[in-house]
Amino acid sequence: WQGSHIGTETLRLVEFTAFVEPQGEQDPQQQHRFVHIDSAPATDSPLEMVDVRQIYDKFPERGGGLRDLYDQGPPHAFFLVKFWADLSFPLPEEEPGGTGGAFYGVSSRYEGPRALTLSCTSKVCSFGKQVVEKLETAEPPHWEDGRFVFCLPRSPLCEYLVNFIRKLRTLPEKPMMDSVLENFTILQVLRDQETQELLLCVAFVFEVSASERGAQHHIYRLGRD
């Protein structure tokens, strides 16, 4: 297996960042990252495996849900990410004299050996039911250092997610936030748009990070005996 990355021989996740920044500011210094996966060199140690059946109930199962997707495979393209999200930041609109607005976005980057049109479907789920679905297409890939790079830069987070994050922050304690997050999940499916071949499927589950630790994550591969 290919070390500790989210990826297969066809597509690898290089970067994934969900952030908020003051309206009109694209200065990375002003950006607060809720969650972040970067392109740190992979370690050789293989990813731990989680049985996909353990998380079926956190996502829709049928009609294109996780069970159906896994049945169709390929199984080595399925991953689980547990995020400890960093919500400890002053929202720009809460600062005295703030700009009165903020931009919530997600940027992601993938790479692979084939020039294809990459589509990304994100399903946001509450209590295992889909509440929002978003279909996006990556920018046309560019050739860089011997592989194609696919970018989905600064995609605005949907209103549901922005409101969810805002409400979550009003809860007084981490255990209360974590208990809300137990029922909040996101499923992303990356496909070759032309052939509809499934290239990657990533299930995200969340807790809130203890404030001094910043955003953390752990990657697992999903399997089934």
**Footprint of ligand G9O (CB under 6 A):** 18, 34-35, 85, 106, 122, 124, 132, 134, 157-158, 161, 165, 186, 206
Q: Three-state SS for 126? A: strand
CA distance linking residue 202 with residue 190, whole number of Å? 9
Q: How far is the CB of 206 from ligand G9O (least distance, A)?
A: 5
- Two tokens at 199? 């290239």
Q: Which C-beta is closer to ligand G9O: that of 167 or that of 224?
A: 167
Q: Which C-beta is closer to ligand G9O: that of 149 or that of 158?
A: 158
Q: Which amino acid is at 41?
A: P
CA distance linking residue 74 with residue 159, whole number of Å? 32
Whether residue 198 contacts residue 191, with contact meaning beta carbons closer than 8 Å, is answered with yes
Q: How far is the CB of 225 from ligand G9O (least distance, A)?
A: 30
Q: Which C-beta is closer to ligand G9O: that of 125 or that of 198?
A: 125
- Pairing status of strand 118-126 against strand 184-192: antiparallel
Q: How far is the CB of 50 from ligand G9O (least distance, A)?
A: 19
Q: How far is the CB of 184 from ligand G9O (least distance, A)?
A: 7
Whether residue 99 contacts residue 15, with contact meaning beta carbons closer than 8 Å, is answered with no
3-state secondary structure 144-212: ECCEEEEEEEEEECCHHHHHHHHHHHHCCCHHHHHHHHCCEEEEEEEEECCCCCEEEEEEEEEEECCHH
| Residue with nearest beta carbon to ligand G9O | 158
Q: Which C-beta is closer to ligand G9O: that of 77 or that of 87?
A: 87
Q: How far is the CB of 181 from ligand G9O (least distance, A)?
A: 6
Q: How far is the CB of 150 from ligand G9O (least distance, A)?
A: 15
Q: Which C-beta is closer to ligand G9O: that of 52 or that of 177?
A: 177
Q: Shortest CA distance to 139 belongs to which of 105, 108, 103? A: 108
Q: Which C-beta is closer to ligand G9O: that of 14 or that of 124?
A: 124
